[in-house]
Each structure stands twice: as structure tokens, then as C-alpha cells.
Amino acid sequence: MTMTSRQRVLTALERRVPDRLPVVTHHVMPYFLNTYMHGATNDEFFDYFGFDPIVWTVPHKPDAAKGEYCDPNQGELGFLESRRIFNSEWRIEAEEIPNSRYRTVRHTFCTPGGKLSMVLQSNEHTTWVAECLIKDKRDIDLLAKYMPYPTCDVDEVNRVAERFGERGIVRGHIPPFDVFGQPGTWQDACCIVGTEKMIMAAFDDPEWVHTLLKILQRRKLNFIRTMTGANYDILELGGGDASTTVISPQIFEEFVAPYDAELIQAAHDAGQRIVYHTCGGMMPILETIAAMKPDAMETFTPPAMGGDVDLKEAKRRIGDKVCMIGGFDQFHYLQGCTSEETRAAVRKCFADAGENGGYILAPSDHFFDADLELIKAFVDEAHQCVYG
């Protein structure tokens, strides 16, 4: 029986066998759509290539009873953005800084106890932190005292889910820090402190690191507890700053796993599924992540892309515990090769991880540049990878 895209992906997420190999992409990058597809929409992208579609939504709403309101100056939401929530003790002011090379914006967080600021820079591909928010260890006291906790807009999630129907899955993420962050707790902290500083502090002042992680985790937990009844299919947690390309397994076990495992349990209590995202090295921590009990893990980045994953070995070690998403080398097989080579790479992923289901083919995280014909070959070959 032919499944709908939603049925197919959910079957794999439940570690069962679908009709064929599901094929998705992590996100559809605006740069790719604008550069290669004349500004096409996400839905047009999915239809053109034949992916199993995803709709991404993370709507926040203010709690009027607490005096909260949406940032009146935020404007149209950008890529994966949510509405920022303000109150009388927390607001964010944005100021453009002249820069000849990159769009540069200083974001100032205003509280009764003082101000904090961070600088973001952007180009046509992405955005990054040029100046971190936390410059003194005492700065985190302002977050603990004044930072509001967003609430999930369950009704809006369900409207999106109803419109999307069986077309595909509804995906969101655990909210990162306002303006810039990552879903995972440690990863979020790295965005506002700086990765190197966080690693050093883990050795020099672990008590301070745990204090910060608890502050950020409380915000995420509060949001998750408002998600009951939201018709998501999967929520992303994690981020690249917790890969073993960046930190040791020991740091992961002490500063990452305990906090994010609690978030995963809270999500399950709210009726939600979690995919744990790790772009970079994973092999030394595969079992540690699986023990946190996410429903799925991604991205399984291969060595040729800077990761370390042996997909067949990963399937052997954790394939009975989680759904696996990713594993495809988009850098070498979505550009600069033949369609036959792309198809062979798809077949290898299927052979390595597809047995008994529980595997979703996807590029190992984002891609910005790709050959349209090779994407077609990638998706078409996935369609040929049938079960039964």
C-alpha cells in the first residue's frame, strides 16, 4: 500500500517499516531558493523535487495576565524566527551598525537591573554572533531575574497542522535564546557566552556553568509544558556545539546530557516527539544520546564532510533505540559529480541504515549550493528504495 508522506515519515520515526525510504531535508535555505529557484516557496521546492514535505512552525504567544506582549518592532518573521515576548522588565532594542561587508545589528536587552547587548552579523547565507551577550559572569543574574518565558501558541500550531494535513509532517524546535541561540541547553549557552569560553568555564568554574544551564533550561521547560495538545510530529533539540568535533564526551556527559534528557522527558510528558540534532562528530556519544531517549537522532555527518559517522556502524549500535535521520554527503553528491554517483550514494545509505525501517534519508544538515539535477537524482533514487 502506498503511504502518504506523513504516514511514511511517522512510520520511520516510530522505527517501523514504511512503503519506501522517506526522503527529507533538514531545512530549505532561503539562499538556495533565491539563487537557484527564483525565490520559490518551501512547498514549491518539495513539489518540484518530490521530497516528503515538512512544514516548520514555532509560534509563541504572550501571556496577557502577566503583562506580556509581542515585540512591536520585530516586523515580518525571518527564517525559523518566532515572535519575541516582552514585558515591563524585558525588552530588546535593535540598532543597525554601518559595515561595508556584512549586515551588522546590535541587540540591546533592557532590564531594570541593567542592559546587556550582543552583535549579530549576516550575509546572504547565514547569521552569526560577532559579539556575545554574556561578557561578565554576573550578567547571567539579569537573565535569571528578568527573562520572560515564551508560551507555545497551540491553536496556531494546530491550524498549521490542519492545513498541511497528510502532505507531510509538522516540525518545530525547542525555543532558543531570544535573537540568536540553539534548541539545546549547552548549545544555547555557547551562543550567548562563546563556545571557547564555555569550554574553559566547564573546567575553571563548573558551578557557574551549571547555574547558567539551569537558567536557560527553565525557559525551555516552561515552553515545553505549554505544548500539550499541539499537533507537532517532531521537535528539534540539540545543536552543533555539543558534537564531539567541539567538546569531549566527558563534557557532553556532565553538561549536556543531564539537562537535555530532562527536556526530552518533559516533551514526552506533553505528548511530543524529539529529534536530537548533532552536526559534527557523534560516534563517541551515540549511546549517550540514545540513553537520553529521543525519538530520533540526526545528522550522522560523514567524515568527508567533517563529521565522523560510519552509518552502518551507527545503525548497528543504536538502530534499535532511535530513528536515524541524515547520513548523506550533500557536499560531494549534490554538486560536482554525476547523477550515477549521487544515486549510488543514496543506495549506500539505504544499505547501511535502511534495514528494518527506522531510517529517514536526508542531507547531513543544510546545503546552500546544489545542482538541481543531482537533487532530482537524490530524491528519485530514494523513491526506488522500497521495502517488501
Average pLDDT score over residue span 178-184: 95
- Which has the higher per-residue pLDDT, 75 or 379? 379
Residue 84 Rama label (left phi>0; alpha psi -120 to 50; beta): beta
- What pLDDT score does 371 carry? 97
Residue 129 has pLDDT above 90, yes or no: yes
How much is the average pLDDT of 326-341?
Answer: 97
Q: What is the CATH code for 5-61+146-384?
A: 3.20.20.210
Say if residue 76's pLDDT is above 90. Answer: no
What percentage of the chain has pLDDT greater than the value 90? 96
Q: Does residue 319 register a pLDDT over 90?
A: yes
User: In the predicted model, what is the mean pLDDT of residues 280-296?
Assistant: 98
Q: How many Å apart are CA 345 and CA 325, to the nearest integer?
A: 15
Half-sphere exposure of 299 (CA within 13 A, CB side): 29
pLDDT in tens, 111-124: 999 999 999 999 99
Residue 116: its pLDDT value, please? Answer: 98
Q: What is the mean pLDDT of residues 151-170?
A: 98
Torsion of the alpha carbons at 307, 299, 46 and 27, rounded to the nearest 10: -90
Place of cell 567538546: 247
Residue 238 CB neighbours (<10 A): 30
Supply φ then ψ for residue 146, to 5 degrees. Answer: -115, -20
Average pLDDT across the chain, whole number: 97
Nearest to 377 by CA among 27, 52, 50, 53: 50
pLDDT given for residue 81 in this prediction: 85
For residue 69, the model assigns a pLDDT of 95
pTM value is 0.96
Residue 95 predicted with pLDDT over 90: yes
pLDDT given for residue 357 in this prediction: 98
* Per-residue model confidence (pLDDT) at position 171: 98
pLDDT at 1: 79
Per-residue pLDDT at 365 exceeds 90:
no
Q: Where are the alpha helices (DSSP H) in 77-205?
A: 140-146, 154-164, 185-193, 195-204
Instruction: Evaluate the omega torsion of the peptide bond into residue 299 and state whether it is cis, within 30 degrees of 0.
Output: yes
Q: How confident is the model at residue 362 (pLDDT cuts 50, 70, 90)?
A: very high
As a whole number of angstroms, the distance between CA 110 and CA 88 comes to 10
Mean pLDDT of the 281-302 span: 98
DSSP label at residue 125: S
Please tell me the predicted confidence (pLDDT) of residue 80: 80
In the predicted model, is pLDDT for residue 78 greater than 90? no
